[in-house]
């Protein structure tokens, strides 16, 4: 009887009746610290920690994850050859699974940036099915879809659908005029493939966006947000906070963003922070509300429809935006205009839509000059 009971217990445990077993042991503390530093943008600390973990004495899994981190850091700095070297080793060291797929994702991005388009697309397609993070999957689909679109090649509905309602302006320079031309050899697809060609797409400089994880954003209140329609305009704001909150934005943008999100969701009962992007005093660009969802920044549902909201931290009726903020704003505007085919004429300060002083007289004046400059930019002449 005891043997029978034991057999039943073993059978039940093996059928998923309890919590899922861990496939592998927990990651070393130093590796987790390195990954956290990477997500928080502390490149110096994460580089030091990852370098200490990629030696041959470490297990292959640890070495693979360290190389993955180093590859992402190199990619972030634009050191593409080094990024590819680290990510190729990461791909070899890691066994099949989500981590291996992430190595392929970043390797695919690096190869696209180098102009090695055929190989980059292959890496992204191999990565797609095994990526565990929904955002990683949408990024892979976005890169595949945009690249094939620009090359005039057919795009599978799987990738097209997964890439809709997402915007990643940090990828805009992949198809830029200043980057290497995209070269592609014929690929086997279900539909006839056009003849090989070289396509040059004019585009703005490369930018970097701090994602929501970097400031520990809470998930949106799904019942209180609506899907974003096709973006066709951009509105620029200043946050014009009280002095204590503005000081927090200067000292710790992640804490500031959490405070603003808390106010928007708990006090105003909105679905999330109102803006899609925010730019801190040091010029860093932060992801606010996901581009999957319509913003809450222009004043009403009609004005928010198809409207990308960008806010610079500060009160620009009183102070002037920092030079780093203005530089990042211009790069972000150029990237968004290119990605969504938005004319610079459709960029406005909040005061141009309704009666308000936002984004402040100093920022509005700078924005007016910026819009004229973007309209004259040769990056607006694109091949399609």
In DSSP terms, 285 is beta-bridged to 209, 279
Using alpha carbons, select from 212, 206, 201, 199 the residue that is nearest to residue 80. Answer: 206
Q: 19 near 28, Cβ under 8 Å?
A: no
| Burial (CB count <10 Å: 0-12, 13-18, 19+), residue 294 | buried
Q: In a 10 Å sphere around its CB, with 0-12 CB exposed, 13-18 middle and 19+ buried, how is residue 28 labelled?
A: middle
User: Concatenated DSSP letters for 198-240?
Assistant: EE---------EE-GGGGTPPPP-GGG--B-----EEEEEE--
pTM above 0.95, yes or no: no
Enter the DSSP assignment of 284.
-
- Closest Cα to residue 328, out of 137, 103, 144, 169? 169
The Cα 127–Cα 108 span in angstroms is: 9
Residue 209 parent element (H or E):
strand 209-210
CA-wise closest residue to 259 among 246, 122, 334 = 246
Among 116, 129, 94, 113, CA closest to 24? 94
Q: Look up residue 164 and give its two tokens.
A: 């809709």
Q: Where in the chain is the domain with CATH 3.40.80.10?
A: 210-380
Local confidence pLDDT in tens for the 384 residues of the chain = 444 433 333 333 333 333 333 345 678 899 999 999 998 889 999 999 999 998 888 999 999 999 999 999 999 999 999 999 999 999 999 998 999 999 999 999 999 998 888 888 889 988 998 999 999 999 999 999 988 888 888 888 888 888 877 788 889 888 764 444 333 333 333 333 333 333 232 445 578 999 999 999 999 987 888 888 889 999 999 999 888 888 999 999 999 999 999 999 999 999 999 999 999 999 999 999 999 999 999 988 878 989 999 999 999 999 999 999 999 999 999 999 988 889 998 999 999 888 899 999 999 999 999 999 998 875 544 433
The CATH code that applies to domain 210-380 is: 3.40.80.10
CA-wise closest residue to 225 among 281, 155, 288, 173:
288
Under 8 Å between Cβ of 292 and 163: no
Distance CA 350, CA 361 (A): 11
Task: Indicate where the chain has its CATH 1.25.40.10 domain(s).
Answer: 29-199
CA distance 31 to 61: 11
Structure token digits, residue 144: 């595949």
Sheet holding 347-349, edge to edge: 209-210, 285-287, 277-279, 307-312, 233-238, 347-349
Angle subtended at Cα 291 by Cα 289 and Cα 295, rounded to the nearest 5 degrees = 55
Q: How far apart (Å, rounded) are the C-alpha atoms in residues 87 and 74?
A: 10
* Cα-based distances in Å from 329 to 76, 226, 248, 252, 366: 19, 26, 21, 20, 10
End-to-end CA distance of the chain, in Å? 75
Bond before 359 cis per omega within 30 degrees = yes
Separation of alpha carbons 356 and 104, rounded Å: 47
Please tell me the distance from the alpha carbon of residue 95 to that of residue 92, in angstroms, as a whole number.
Answer: 8
CATH architecture label of 29-199: Alpha Horseshoe (1.25)
């Amino acid at each position: 009887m005891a043997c029978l009971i034991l057999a039943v217990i073993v059978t039940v445990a093996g059928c998923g009746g309890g919590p899922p077993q861990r496939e592998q042991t927990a990651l070393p503390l130093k590796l987790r610290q390195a990954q956290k530093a990477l997500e928080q943008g502390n490149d110096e600390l994460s580089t030091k920690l990852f370098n200490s973990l990629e030696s041959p004495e470490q297990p292959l899994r640890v070495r693979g994850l360290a190389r993955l981190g180093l590859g992402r850091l190199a990619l972030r700095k634009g050191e593409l050859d080094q990024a590819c070297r680290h990510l190729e080793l990461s791909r070899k060291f890691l066994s099949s699974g989500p981590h291996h797929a992430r190595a392929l994702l970043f390797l695919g991005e690096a190869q696209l940036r180098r102009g090695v388009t055929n190989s980059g697309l292959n890496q992204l397609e191999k990565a797609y099915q095994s990526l565990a993070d929904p955002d990683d999957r949408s990024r892979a689909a976005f890169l595949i879809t945009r690249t094939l679109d620009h090359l005039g090649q057919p795009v599978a509905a799987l990738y097209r659908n997964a890439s809709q309602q997402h915007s990643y302006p940090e990828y805009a320079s992949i198809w830029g005029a200043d980057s290497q031309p995209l070269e592609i050899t014929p690929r086997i697809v279900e539909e006839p493939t056009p003849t090989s060609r070289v396509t040059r797409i004019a585009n703005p400089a490369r930018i970097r966006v701090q994602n929501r994880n970097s400031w520990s954003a809470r998930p949106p209140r799904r019942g209180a947000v609506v899907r974003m329609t096709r973006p066709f305009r951009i509105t620029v704001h200043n946050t014009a906070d009280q002095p204590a909150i503005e000081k927090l934005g200067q000292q710790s943008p992640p804490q500031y963003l959490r405070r603003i999100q808390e106010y928007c969701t708990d006090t105003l009962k909105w679905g999330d922070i109102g803006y899609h992007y925010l730019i801190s005093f040091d010029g860093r660009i932060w992801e606010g509300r996901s581009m999957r969802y319509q913003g809450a920044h222009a004043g009403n549902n009609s004005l928010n429809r198809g409207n990308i909201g960008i806010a610079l931290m500060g009160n620009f009726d009183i102070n002037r935006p920092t030079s780093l903020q203005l530089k990042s704003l211009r790069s972000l505007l150029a990237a968004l205009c290119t990605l969504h085919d938005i004319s610079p004429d459709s960029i406005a300060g909040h005061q141009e839509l309704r009666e308000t002083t936002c984004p402040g007289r100093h920022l509005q004046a700078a924005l007016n000059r910026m819009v004229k400059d973007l309209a004259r930019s040769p990056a607006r002449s694109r091949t399609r």
